[in-house]
Amino acid sequence: MAAQTQPGVEEVWGWLSEVPDPEIPVISLTDLGIIRGVEWQGDTLVVRVTPTYSGCPATSVINLDIETALRRHGIEKLRLERQLTPPWTTDWISPEGREKLRAYGIAPPVDGTAADGVLAGRIARMTGTNLKIACPRCGSTHTERISQFGSTPCKASYRCKDCLEPFDYFKCI
Amino acid sequence: MPSLPDMTTPNVADLAREAAQTASAHPAVPQPDAGQEAFSEMLLRLGDSTLILGHRISEWCGHSPALEEDIALANVALDLIGQTQLWLSLAGEVEGKGRSADDLAYLRDAWDFRNLLICERPNGDFGHTLMRQFLFDAWHHELLKALAASSDPRVAEIAAKAGKEVAYHLERSSDLVVRLGDGTEESHRRMQEALDDLWSYAGEMFIGDAKDAEVAARGIAPDPSTLRAAWDQTLQHVLTEATLQIPEGSFAHKGGKQGIHTEHLGYILSEMQFLQRAYPGASW
């Protein structure tokens, strides 16, 4: 491929920011923070992707979506690499991504609430007394957890005690 | 049931293979000849334990007492199967015979499996399943913390990733053990029975052999016995709160790590491996 036809890395990042997450299509792969690198190695475009949860079934769909999008933009030689380090956490979700989640009806992760296996803090985390998870519908923090897991590995199930709406919480890891 | 890999089309499978090949090219990793067997054995022990337990709890899918618990168990199973994919891929890479995670999961027979016996215990009732999960999670969490400091960067990065998921598992299983142990008379009785029943299968997690000693000497993995004190402390903390009595016996069934299994493993494999055995190479 001739050098002048190689799109710049910034342009590729722009294309990737338009690829929706397959399970939460309101945010993009770059909002989610799972694209770890884009670079040209000779005539091959290398995109490094990190998994959210190691068993997330969306991982292979995400790879397929990336490939489809980049091929559509004329990329011929493409290699996707899995990068585990540093492991993805919800800190990688962009501020815009958090707002989009909230507008979509999913409460975004509350910083500093990740499970760390230190059981002394377990009760507070379990009962939610150290959490201020706001209902994405009415904004009330008078909410309670229904289940530690939800419709996908990255979410937990909550309920608003004021407007009574059940909702997903993007749990913090 | 979770499968390896999930939701594949031929196209995605190619991509995944491509990604796996490039991801496995870690140039800085020392590759001494001696001890590679102990290293791949250690990885099989880990990957087989997460695989068999992940499969076991996936059996609850559609049968749990409440929808939320059904979803939760399926998600824990999914995490464990995802971790299996990482551990068994690395096991195949270290072994150097070109075996993939799928080959190892689907094409070995019981005597080649290296999982802990506790992982193949039948589910029993819901309380029994949760007690097994708690005993395992408490160990798994300590193990991954130690492995995150492994001298092998490939092990360390998988452990750092998996450790975040397992911290969450441990909080969940601890919470439910407390709620059911310190619950009704019947839930308390069932949890105590589960603990008594599983107790003799917990000790194997801390018993090392020559292969464990070899990887410990190379700084790849901790000596299993060093995980015991922290595990005891977690149990003390949670089981006291759950008003449950820690059994006194120290007898431990063992052999799983060496390929000597209970009759239950064969039944798991016959279900888990059926498709690949009946239709070799079949994919979604």
ipTM for the complex?
A: 0.84
Determine, for residues A54 and B145 on separate chains, whether the beta-carbon distance falls below 8 Å: no
N-to-C CA span, chain B: 13
Q: What is the pLDDT of residue B68?
A: 87
For residue B262, being part of any structural domain is answered with yes
Strand pairing class (A78-82; A44-49)? parallel
Closest CA to B7 of B93, B81, B98: B81
Q: What is the pLDDT of residue A115?
A: 75
Question: DSSP state, B62?
Answer: T
Rounded CA separation B135/B278 (Å) = 35
| Residue B224: cis peptide before it, omega within 30 degrees of 0 | no
Give SS3 for B203: helix
Of B12, B72, B175, the CB nearest to A60: B12
Q: What is the pLDDT of residue B9?
A: 45
**Shortest alpha-carbon distance between residue B117 and chain A (Å):** 23
| Residue A20: cis peptide before it, omega within 30 degrees of 0 | no
Rounded CA separation B17/B33 (Å) = 26
Chain B residues touching residue A117 (CB < 8 angstroms): 141, 145, 163, 166-167, 170-171
CATH number of the domain where residue B183 is located? 1.20.1260.10
For residue B138, being part of any structural domain is answered with yes
For residue B124, being part of any structural domain is answered with yes
For residue B14, being part of any structural domain is answered with no
pLDDT (tens, 9 = 90+) of chain A, 173 residues, equals 444 578 999 999 999 999 999 999 999 999 999 999 999 999 999 999 999 988 888 888 999 999 999 999 999 999 999 999 999 989 899 999 999 999 999 999 887 667 776 665 665 555 555 567 899 999 998 998 888 888 888 888 899 999 999 999 998 88
For residue B165, being part of any structural domain is answered with yes
Chain A residue closest to B77 (CA)?
A: A55
Determine, for residues A79 and B237 on separate chains, whether the beta-carbon distance falls below 8 Å: no
Chain B residues touching residue A85 (CB < 8 angstroms): 153, 157, 160
Rounded CA separation B268/B115 (Å) = 12
**Shortest alpha-carbon distance between residue A122 and chain B (Å):** 6
Determine, for residues B68 and A147 on separate chains, whether the beta-carbon distance falls below 8 Å: yes
Residue A20: exposure state from Cβ atoms within 10 A (0-12, 13-18, ≥19): middle
For residue B204, being part of any structural domain is answered with yes
- What's the structural domain count of chain B? 1
- Phi and psi torsions of A156, nearest 5°: -120, 160
Q: What is the pLDDT of residue A56?
A: 83
Contact B180, B193 (CB under 8 A): no
Chain B residues touching residue A54 (CB < 8 angstroms): 79, 82-83, 85-86, 161-162, 165
Provide the domain limits for residue B160: 33-278
For residue B215, being part of any structural domain is answered with yes
Q: What is the pLDDT of residue B172?
A: 92
Low-confidence ranges of chain B (pLDDT < 70): 1-34
Q: Any idea which residue has 């996936």 for tokens?
A: B58
**Shortest alpha-carbon distance between residue A96 and chain B (Å):** 24
- Catalogue all structural domains in chain A, each as residue range(s) with its CATH number: 3-82 (3.30.300.130), 94-170 (2.20.25)
Determine, for residues B78 and A57 on separate chains, whether the beta-carbon distance falls below 8 Å: yes
**What would the 3-class secondary structure string for chain A be?**
CCHHHCCCHHHHHHHHCCCECCCCCCCEHHHHCCEEEEEEECCEEEEEECCCCCCCCHHHHHHHHHHHHHHHCCCCCEEEEECCCCCCCHHHCCHHHHHHHHHHCEECCCCCCCCCCCHHHHHHHHHCCCCCCCCCCCCCCCEEEEECCCCCCCEEEEEECCCCCEEEEECCC
Chain B residue closest to A80 (CA)?
A: B19
Tokens of A85: 């380090």
Determine, for residues A64 and B15 on separate chains, whether the beta-carbon distance falls below 8 Å: yes
Mutating which of B60, B68, B155 best tests the A interface, going by the most A Cβ atoms within 10 A?
B68
Chain A residues touching residue B175 (CB < 8 angstroms): 122, 126, 148
Residue B14 CB: number of other CB atoms within 10 A?
Answer: 12
**Residues 220-279 of chain B whose Cβ lies under 8 A from any Cβ of chain A:** 234, 237-238
Number of H helices, E strands in chain B: 12, 0
Rounded CA separation B224/B205 (Å) = 7
For residue B60, being part of any structural domain is answered with yes
Determine, for residues B72 and A63 on separate chains, whether the beta-carbon distance falls below 8 Å: no
Question: DSSP state, B137?
Answer: H
